[in-house]
Structure 1
Amino acid sequence: MNKTFNSHSSKVRQMTIVGLLSGITIFLGVTGYGFIQLPVARLTIMHIPVIIGVLIEGPKVGLAIAFMFGGFSFFQNLMAPNLLSFAFIDPRVSILPRLLIPLTTYGVYKILKIKNESIRIGVAALIGSLTNTIGVMGMLFALHIDKYAKAKQTSLEGAKTLIKSLIYTNGVLEAIAAAVITVAIVQAIRKSRRI
Structure 2
Amino acid sequence: MKNGKRLDVRRLAVIGVLGAISVVLGMTPLGFIPVGPTRATIMHIPVIIGAIMEGPVVGGLVGLIFGIFSIYQAITAPTPVSFVFLNPIVSVLPRILIGITSYYAYKALSRIGNKRTTWLLYGIWAAIGIYLIRGLYSGIVNYTSVWPLLMNGGLLILTALMAYLTSRTLKDRALDLIIPTIIGTLTNTVGVLSMIYIFYAERFVQAIGQDIDTARKVIVGIGITNGIPESIIAIIIVTSVVTALKKRKK
Q: TM-score, normalised by structure 1?
A: 0.90
Q: How does 1:12-161 map to 2 (within 5 A)?
A: 12-38=9-35, 40-112=37-109, 113-115=112-114, 116-161=172-217
Which structure is richer in relative contact order (CA contacts within 8 A, separation 6 or more)?
2
Q: Which moved more, 1:84-93 or 1:35-44?
A: 35-44
Gap runs ≥5 in structure 2: 1-6, 115-171
Displacement of 1:110 after TM fit?
Answer: 1.4
Displacement of 1:158 after TM fit?
Answer: 3.1
Asked if the contact 1:118/1:187 (under 8 Å) is kept, the reply is no
Q: State the one-letter code of the partner of 1:105.
A: S
Displacement of 1:93 after TM fit?
Answer: 0.6
Asked if the contact 1:42/1:170 (under 8 Å) is kept, the reply is yes
Displacement of 1:40 after TM fit?
Answer: 1.1
Asked if the contact 1:100/1:131 (under 8 Å) is kept, the reply is yes
Instruction: Give the match's secondary structure for 1:33.
Output: helix
RMSD between aligned residues:
1.5
- Indicate the residue corresponding to 1:179 in structure 2: 235
Displacement of 1:32 after TM fit?
Answer: 2.2
Asked if the contact 2:181/2:231 (under 8 Å) is kept, the reply is yes
Q: Could you tell me how far apart the structure 1 residues matched to 2:194 and 2:201 are?
A: 10
Q: Could you tell me how far apart the structure 1 residues matched to 2:35 and 2:55 are?
A: 32
Asked if the contact 2:36/2:229 (under 8 Å) is kept, the reply is no
Displacement of 1:39 after TM fit?
Answer: 5.1
Q: TM-score, normalised by structure 2?
A: 0.71
Displacement of 1:59 after TM fit?
Answer: 0.6
Asked if the contact 2:178/2:239 (under 8 Å) is kept, the reply is yes
Q: Could you tell me how far apart the structure 2 residues matched to 1:163 and 1:121 are?
A: 28
Q: Percent identity?
A: 39
Asked if the contact 1:101/1:132 (under 8 Å) is kept, the reply is yes
Residue-pair matches, total = 186
Q: Could you tell me how far apart the structure 2 residues matched to 1:171 and 1:157 are?
A: 23
Displacement of 1:119 after TM fit?
Answer: 1.3
Q: Could you tell me how far apart the structure 1 residues matched to 2:105 and 2:186 are?
A: 12
Distance 1:96 1:68, change over 3 A: same
Gap runs ≥5 in structure 1: 1-9
Q: Could you tell me how far apart the structure 2 residues matched to 1:157 and 1:121 are?
A: 39
Q: Could you tell me how far apart the structure 1 residues matched to 2:59 and 2:217 are?
A: 32
Q: Could you tell me how far apart the structure 1 residues matched to 2:227 and 2:211 are?
A: 23
Q: 1:28-87 CA distances to partner (integer Å, 9 max, x unpaired)? A: 001121100235111100000000000111011001100000000011101211111110
